[in-house]
A and B are shown apart, each in its own frame.
Chain A
């Protein structure tokens, strides 16, 4: 069955440090991949998406993600984390039918000063 895995439940980084959140997917064909962020009391906000083409995609708020087919990964990165980035991050992929998103369990990011 198709699945999305986020191996890290909780990550803490220092403000100003770089960030990488991991995401792996299981899917035969090239998937449509997404990263969402949920801040406390807010809905899920789309950070970026990958459909095809350039494997390095840029998103909002200074985030980027790289699709690596050989590793079945779509890791999210940010060069310098701000305190306002503390939130829960979700990786997701379209299901094979293209009718719904399959989510990972989420990674909670804490930012220390």
Chain B
């Protein structure tokens, strides 16, 4: 069974540019989560999808971040325009309908904003 995949693995962009991160969850997982780890800090929750619906986006830093989950399958996280403080590692995770069994994480996308 394929795990959670994320693309790209690493992105380097200039301040003011746009970047789109993609996450493909484990097939059949209704729940999809985005997290972010800024250097030296803890991993923090950004938002949660159940199928294609946003259930909780309380962790999204501001309106420069836009997440979508087309058809309840893969998800994208767009940062537009990117700022220096957006640099970090963005993790995607998915879980089955009964989310308490634990979340399965992807390898993350390392975003560097120069």
Number of residue pairs across A and B with beta carbons under 8 Å?
53
C-alpha gap A76/B4 in the complex (Å) = 25
Question: Taking CB as reference atom, which chain B residue is nearest A45?
Answer: B105
Question: Taking CB as reference atom, which chain A residue is nearest B99?
Answer: A98
Q: Which residues of A contact B41 (CB under 8 A)?
A: 105
Q: Which residues of A contact B100 (CB under 8 A)?
A: 32, 51, 94, 98
Q: Contact size class for B? A: 20 to 34
C-alpha gap A101/B33 in the complex (Å) = 10
Shortest Cβ distance from residue A47 to the other chain B in the assembled complex, whole angstroms: 10
Q: Decide yes or no whether B1 CB sits under 8 A from chain A.
A: no
C-alpha gap A104/B43 in the complex (Å) = 8
Question: Taking CB as reference atom, which chain A residue is nearest B46?
Answer: A100
C-alpha gap A102/B33 in the complex (Å) = 12
Question: Taking CB as reference atom, which chain B residue is nearest A41?
Answer: B107
The reply to whether A100 and B105 form a contact with Cβ atoms under 8 Å apart is: no
The reply to whether B91 and A100 form a contact with Cβ atoms under 8 Å apart is: no
Q: Which residues of A contact B102 (CB under 8 A)?
A: 34, 46, 49
Shortest Cβ distance from residue B14 to the other chain A in the assembled complex, whole angstroms: 26
Q: Which residues of A contact B25 (CB under 8 A)?
A: none
Q: Decide yes or no whether B28 CB sits under 8 A from chain A.
A: no
Q: Decide yes or no whether B80 CB sits under 8 A from chain A.
A: no
Q: Give 9 nearest A-B pairs by CB, closest first.
A: A44-B105, A100-B45, A43-B107, A103-B43, A43-B105, A105-B42, A99-B56, A103-B42, A46-B102
Interface residues of A (CB under 8 A from B): 4, 32, 34, 36, 41-46, 49, 51, 90, 92, 94-95, 97-106
